[in-house]
Amino acid sequence: MKIAITSDNHFDVNKLDPSQMMLEQAGYLKEQHIDIYLIIGDLFNDFTKTLNYVHDLQNLLNKTTTVYFIAGNHDMLNGVSYEELENLKDSAYLHNRFIDVPGTDWRIVGNNGWYDYSLASNMPEKTADDFLKWKRSFWIDAKIKQPMNDIERMDIVLQQTKEQFEKAKDKKVVYITHFVPNEHFIRFTDDNRFWNMANGVMGSKRLGNLIAEYQTEYVGFGHMHRHFKDFKSDGTLFFNTAVGYHLKRINEWTFGDFITEWKSRLKILDLK
């Protein structure tokens, strides 16, 4: 069974024609004989558009490939509430759910994820209030409404993930989440510039500890648009699948067109 994983396509930010991208993505997935296609956040700045894209792509692929997705922070900006993110009943939505890969011992576990400021470990003098104030002033997530603070939200993610890992003890696991699950991928600078504070809203060190405890085989994530090499730690292979931005001010692509960049960032696993 072949699965392909992508994140951070950002169709709207990149000013792409989603209909054309869908045709080209579907054609490549069929050509590569992909059985399961996983989108791990940030298709659009609107959850409704993301959900519609997933459904339309599934209709185009018909039964050749099954499409699943989780939400990234950009998807959460519009068209959805926290309650809906937690409780949506949609066959394609994999947050706090799992699917068993047919004919194998593999299980794919999904969780949107969140952050708790713990990845900003080089700034121990900063409090949770400091990070919250910074987030409200500078970070796009300030627009996202939630009925608890960020650390409490991450507590829920960790509890959900632990429960899913407990259920999967007799399985080999591919865990997908949008946010950064390991400190290896964090860049520290030697002063208090913007990105040192931004590290706090990248993900959670506690999630990395939980993944190590359960010796999860594969962990895929997005959110950070830098091109990382795969990283293995405590038996877990971590990989980032973010395509990122291609703008005049911010150009994160290696190639000049979206589809070539998407193909280069696509993670394909052959699960046996």
pLDDT in tens, 88-112: 999 999 999 999 999 999 999 999 9
Q: In the predicted model, what is the mean pLDDT of residues 212-236?
A: 96
**Radius of gyration over alpha carbons of the chain, in Å?**
18
117/120 Cα distance (integer angstroms): 6
Edge-to-edge strands of the sheet including 172-177? 97-100, 106-111, 172-177, 218-221, 236-240, 231-233
Alpha helices in 139-204 (DSSP H): 150-167, 194-198
pLDDT tens-digit readout, 75-85 = 999 999 999 99
Q: What is the mean pLDDT of residues 244-251?
A: 94
56-78 mean pLDDT = 97
The answer to whether 180 and 154 are in contact (CB under 8 A) is no
Judged against a pLDDT cut of 90, whether residue 122 lies above it is answered with no
pTM here? 0.97
Q: Which helix (H) or strand (E) holds 56?
A: helix 47-61
Give me the pLDDT at residue 70, please: 98
User: What is the number of residues in the chain?
Assistant: 272
- Chain-wide mean pLDDT for the chain? 96
Q: What whole-number distance in Å separates Cα of residue 200 and Cα of residue 262?
A: 27
The answer regarding whether domain 2-270 maps to CATH 3.40.1280.10 reads no
Q: Domain-by-domain residue ranges, the chain?
A: 2-270
Residue 128 above 90 pLDDT?
yes
Residue-level pLDDT at 192: 62
Determine the pLDDT at residue 190. Answer: 76
Q: What is the rounded average pLDDT of the residues 51-74?
A: 98
List, for residues 166-216, the tens digit of each pLDDT value.
999 999 999 999 999 999 999 888 766 778 999 999 999 999 999 999 999
Place of tokens 């699943």: 68
Q: Which two three-digit tokens encode residue 271?
A: 């699960």
Provide the percentage of residues in the chain whose pLDDT is more than 70: 99
- C-alpha closest to that of 228 among 215, 212, 239, 243: 239
Q: How confident is the model at residue 164 (pLDDT cuts 50, 70, 90)?
A: very high
Type and span of the H or E element at 70: strand 66-70
Q: What percent of the chain has pLDDT over 90?
A: 94
**pLDDT score, position 189:** 81
| Cβ density class 247-265: b for 16+ within 10 Å, e for less | eeeeebbeeeebeebbbeb
